[in-house]
Structure 1
Amino acid sequence: MKPNSLAVFNSNDIYPISADSTMPFEQHRDIFYLSGVDQEESVLVLFPDCPKEKHREILFLKETNEHIAIWEGEKLTKEKAFETSGIKTVYWLHDMEKVMFEIMTQCDTVYINTNEHYRASVETETREDRFTKWLKAKYPAHTVAKSNPILQRLRSVKDPIEIDLIQQACNVTEKGFKRVLNFVKPGVWEYNIEAEFMHEFLNNRSKGFAYTPIVASGNNANVLHYIENNQQCKAGDLILMDVGAEYANYSSDMTRTIPVSGRFSERQKAVYNAVNRVKNEATKMLVPGTDWAAYHVEVGKLMTSELLGLGLLDKADVQNENPDWPAYKKYFMHGTSHHMGLDTHDYGILTEPMQANMVFTVEPGIYIPDDSFGIRLEDDVVIQENGEPYNLMRNIPIEADEIEELMNS
C-alpha cells in the first residue's frame, strides 16, 4: 500500500430470492481471507500508518443481542471477533461513520475493493459497490486506489494452512467419487449421481458443492457447462462428472469420466488414455517461472499429436490451421489450467509467471459429438519450489483399468 493509506473490505450481502426467501450466505472471499470473519454486515479497515495505533486494524460488526441469538443463532461478539481475527479494535456498525470520519481525516489514499477477475461478469450491485459509492461521494478529495491487484498476488500464493484445507476438500471429493463408482449402473439418472455426491459431502462436514456440479452422460458431455443433470444414463454411454466439494470455504475441482456399464469400449478407452497422457505431460510443465499463455500453446501441441494419433485430425488440418484457433480446438476448445483456492476459479494474475505454492487445475478434454461422448479429466496440483507439482488428487482413481476394476469389484 502507498504511505498514509487505508483499505476497506466489506462482507457480501445476503441475496434475496423473493418474498422472504434468501440464498444461503456466502462470505466475500477477500474479507474472509484477511480476517477469518464469515458473517454478513462486517467491514474490515486496514490503516498501517494510522497515528492512533488502535486504528491500524479495525473490524466493524453488526451488533448482536439475545433476540438475534434466539432467531438467527449467535453472531460474533467483540470478544469472539478478536479470537477469530486477531483484531483488537472492534466497533459496532452503527459507529462506523463517526470512526471513518476520524480516520479519513488522517489518510490521503483509500483502497477500494473492485472485482477484476478475468472471468467476472457481475450485474448485481454488491455491498462493496454501495460502500464505494458512499465513500467517494462523502470524501471526494481523497485519492482512490485499488486493492484487487495486491489481493490477486497475495491470494494466488497459498499458505500451508490453505493447502491443507484444499487437500481436505479434495479428500471429501475422493470419498464422493468412490461412492459413485459403486453406485453407477445403466438406468440411473444424472441427478441420482449428484445426490450421491451431495450425501457424501454433507456427511464429511462440507457445505456441499464448491460450484454447480456437472453430471453429463452421453452427448451431454459435449456441452461444456451442462448443469441440468436430468437425463437417464444408458448402457454403453460415458458420464463426465465435473464436481468438487468445498471445505471451510476452500474449493476442490475434479473431473472424471466413467462408463455407465463399467467397461469402456475400445474407442472410448483410446480417447480416454489420450486425454490422460495430455494431462500427465501438461502437469509436468507447471513449475515456477512458467508463463500461463505459453503453457497453453505447449499443451495444444500435445493435444494435436494425440488427435492425429486418434485419426480425428490429419496433417492437412494442422498445416492449414488458423493460428488464432488451431485445429485441435475443434475437439478441445477450453483452457487447461486455472488458479484454484477460496474461489474455484481463484485469484491470480495470468500475465505474471507461476510461483511455488500456487494451486492450479489441469483439465484437458476431447469432445466428439459424432460419437456421442466427451472425456475430460481434471486434478488439482500445487506448484513446488523444485520438481513436479504435488497432486492433491493423487488418491482419486483415474487410470481407465482402475476405474473398470473398481466398478466391477
Structure 2
Amino acid sequence: MRYEPIDKELFITNRKRMVKELKSASLAVFNSNDIMPTSADGTMPFHQNSDFFYLTGINQEESILVICPDFPDKKYREVLFLIEPNEMLEKWNGHKLTKAEARDISGVETVIWLSDFHKWFHHMMAMGGVEHTYLNTNEHYRSDVVVESRDSRFIKWCRATYPLHRYERVAPIMAKLRAIKQPQEIELMQKAVDITGKAFKRVLGFVKPGVMEYEVEAEYIHEFVRNGSRGHAYTPIIASGKNNIVLHYIDNNLKCKKDELLLLDVGAEYANYNADLTRTIPVSGKFSKRQKEVYNAVLRVQRAAIKMMSSDVVYFDFHKKVEKIMEEELLKLKLITSQEIKNQKPGQEAFRKYFYHGTSHMLGLDVHDVGNMYAKMALGSVWTVEPGIYIREEGLGIRLENNVVIQKKGVLDLTKNIPIEADEIEELMN
C-alpha cells in the first residue's frame, strides 16, 4: 500500500460502534468489492467497498467480514475470510495478505481462508442463535447502478439458502456511523487535502495560455502519486472557457486560451479517504475586472455559508439560506433584477439561471459520502462548501469549494491553507 499504516484501533472501534446498533441475536455480513472488467481480459483498478474498508482496513478483493456478537464461542464473534495466497497467484498478481498480516491491519483475530466460507457460515447461522441477519446493499441516495455487486449476489444466495431467516438492512446503520468521522479519519482526510493543495500550487505555476486541459490534469496526477496517493478521488474536471459552465465537464481536451478562466474541480485520494477541492483561476495569470467581480461574489457567498454551518443546522434549511445570499449577490452583479425576484414562483427563482446545484455534500470514504441530508449536520461530519455562478451568456463559470468539519464551535476548514483569494492566486501565478 502507498499510505502509512493505519492504527487498527480505528477499525476495532468502528466495529464496536456498529455492533451497538445491531439487535440482539444478530449476524452481519460485509463483502469486499469485485474487480470490475473492462473488456477482453482487462480489469479496472480495484477500489474497495467503503463499508468493508471502514470496518476492516483491508484493501483486498474476495474478502468477507462476518460479525456475530452473541456467538457462543467468542473466537468466532468476528471472522474475516480471505483468499488464500498461493505461489502461482503471487507470480502473476503479487502478494496477498497472510492471516497474520490481516490480523495486524484489521484487529480481527480469527481469519479463515475463503475456500472454507460456506462451511463456517452455515455453522454460524445454524449454531449461533441467529434471529436477525444483516446484509449490506448500496442505498446511497444518488446511486443508479445496474451492475450486480458482490453484495447483491450474496443476498440472492443467502435468501435462497436460508429462506426462513429474518433479514435486516445494515446500510442505514453504516450511513449513520460513517457520517461522524473519528479523529484518525479526519487526519487521513487532512492528508488527502494537503496533497491536493500541493498539486494545486504546482498547477498555479504551470498554467498559461496554450496549455491543454489534459496537461493540467497530468500535473495534478504527478503530484498526487509522488505524495502517496493512488490518484484522483473522482474524475477530474479541468474546464476552461465555456466549459466551466458545465458542472461535470470531464473531457479535459481543449486548449486553455488567454483571458479565459480555468475551473479546477480536482481532489486526491489518500488511504481510501477523499478530498474534493474546486478553485477557478485566470489562464493569463490575472483576472479581468468582470472576472474578479464575479469571483469575489462567489467567495463572499462561500464565506457566509461556512459561517452558518453548525450542528444545529439541517442541510436543506442551510442551502435555502445560501440561495438567498446568492440572490443578493446576483442582484449586485446585475444578472437578475428586483422585478424578477418579485415575480418569481417557487422552484422557478431567478437565481436558478446562474446557480443551479447544491451548496454542499458530505465527504469521506466516498466523495458523495453517506449520511442523512435531512438531519442536523452531525458533530464530526465533513462537508463540502461549493457555491458557484455560471453565466452562459458571458461564457464565464466560477465555483469555489472547501472541505470543512462540523465542530462544537464553528467548523474546522481542512482546506484553509489552500490559496483562494483572487490576489493571492494572481501573485502565485506570476
Same fold at TM > 0.5: yes
Question: 149, 154, 163: which one pairs with 1:126?
Answer: 149
1:160 CA drift (Å):
0.6
Q: Find the counterpart in structure 1 of residue 282 from structure 2.
A: 259
Q: Post-superposition shift, 1:69?
A: 2.1
CA distance in 2, matches of 1:328, 1:113: 40
Matches within 5 A, 1:221-370: 221-370=244-393
Matching residue within 209, 216, 235 for 2:232? 209
Moved over 4 A (4+): none
- Residue in structure 1 matching 2:104, options 79, 83, 86: 83
1:143 to 157, 162, 166: 166
Which letter does structure 2 place at the counterpart of 1:69?
A: E
Q: Distance in 2 between matches of 1:276 and 1:216?
A: 19
Aligned partners of 1:41, 1:325: CA distance in 2, in Å? 49
Distance 1:169 1:373 in 2: 29
Question: How far apart are the structure 1 equivalents of 2:136 and 2:312?
Answer: 28
Q: Distance in 2 between matches of 1:237 and 1:58?
A: 56
Q: Larger deviation: 66-75 or 287-296?
A: 66-75
Deviation at 1:275, TM superposition (A): 0.1
* CA–CA separation in structure 1 for the residues paired with 2:404 and 2:202: 23
Distance in 1, Cα, partners of 2:260 & 2:348: 30
Distance 1:329 1:317 in 2: 12
Q: What is the DSSP-based 3-state SS (H/G/I as helix, E as strand, rest coil) of the residue aligned with 2:54?
A: helix
How far is the alpha carbon of 1:94 from its aligned partner? 1.2
For 1:68, which of 86, 89, 94 is the aligned residue?
Answer: 89
1:179 & 1:51 partners in 2: Cα distance?
A: 57
> Could you tell me how far apart the structure 1 residues matched to 2:428 and 2:236 are?
23
Give the distance between the partners of 2:64 and 2:27, measured in 1 at CA. 13
Which structure 2 segments of 5+ residues have no match? 1-21
| Shift in Å, 1:114 | 1.1
1:94 maps to 115
Counterpart amino acid of residue 52 in structure 1: D
The structural deviation recorded for 1:249 is 0.7
Amino acid at match of 1:107: V
Provide the secondary structure at the position in 2 that maps to 1:280.
Answer: helix
Tell me by how many angstroms 1:109 deviates.
1.1
- Report 1:101-112 matches (<5 A): 101-105=122-126, 106-112=129-135
Aligned residues: 407
**Letter in structure 2 aligned against 1:389:** V
Work out the CA distance in 2 between the residues paired with 1:182 and 1:12.
39
1:263 aligned partner, one-letter code:
K
Residue 40 (structure 2) aligns with: 19
Q: Report the equivalent of 1:392.
A: 414
Structure 1 unaligned regions, length at least 5: none
The alignment partner of 1:59 has SS state of strand
Distance 2:137 2:415 in 1: 33
Corresponding position of 2:69: 48
* 1:112, distance to aligned residue in structure 2 (A): 0.8
CA distance in 2, matches of 1:60, 1:354: 36
Q: Cα deviation per residue 1:173-229 (whole Å; 9 max; x = unaligned)?
A: 011000010001111110010001111111111111000000000100111110000
Displacement of 1:115 after TM fit?
Answer: 1.1
- Residues 350-406 of structure 1: per-residue CA shift (max 9 Å, x gap): 1111111100000000000111110000000011112x2111111110001111111
**C-alpha distance in 1, partners of 2:348/2:185?**
37
Q: Distance in 2 between matches of 1:116 and 1:320?
A: 39
The match for 1:189 among 209, 212, 224 is 212
For residue 67 of structure 1, report the CA deviation from its aligned partner: 2.2
Tell me, yes or no, if structure 1 residue 153 matches structure 2 residue 171: no
Distance across 1 between alignment mates of 2:371 and 2:288: 40
User: What is the identity, as a one-letter code, of the residue corresponding to 2:414?
Assistant: L
Match of 2:190 in 1: 167
CA RMSD of aligned residues (A): 0.8
Q: Percent identity?
A: 56
Deviation track 1:244-277 (CA, whole Å, cap 9, x = no partner) reads 0101111000000000101111111000000000
Q: Structure 1 counterpart of 2:365, which letter?
A: L
Match of 1:5 in 2: 26
CA positional deviation for 1:62: 0.7
Please report how far the alpha carbon of residue 322 of structure 1 lies from its aligned counterpart in structure 2 after TM superposition.
2.1
Q: Which amino acid aligns with 2:419?
A: P
Superposition deviation, residue 66 in structure 1? 2.3
Q: CA deviation at 1:70?
A: 2.2
Give the alignment's TM-score, normalised by structure 2.
0.94
With the length of structure 1 as denominator, give the TM-score of the two structures. 0.98
Structure 2 equivalent of residue 198 of structure 1? 221
SS at match of 2:424: helix
Q: 1:74: how far off?
A: 1.2
One-letter amino acid matched to 2:87: E
Distance 1:289 1:124 in 2: 38
Measured in 2, the distance between the counterparts of 1:233 and 1:197 equals 16
CA distance in 2 between counterparts of 1:285 and 1:10 reads 39
Alpha-carbon deviation of 1:170? Answer: 0.5
Inter-partner Cα distance in structure 2 for 1:238 and 1:344? 25
> 3-state DSSP class of the match of 2:262?
strand
Q: How big is each residue's C-alpha offset from its partner over 1:18-57, in whole Å with a ceiling of 9 and x where there is no partner?
A: 1111000000010100011110000001111112211110
- 1:17 match: secondary structure: coil
Q: Deviations over 1:128-185 (max 9, x none)?
A: 1101100011001111110011100100100111000000001100110000100011
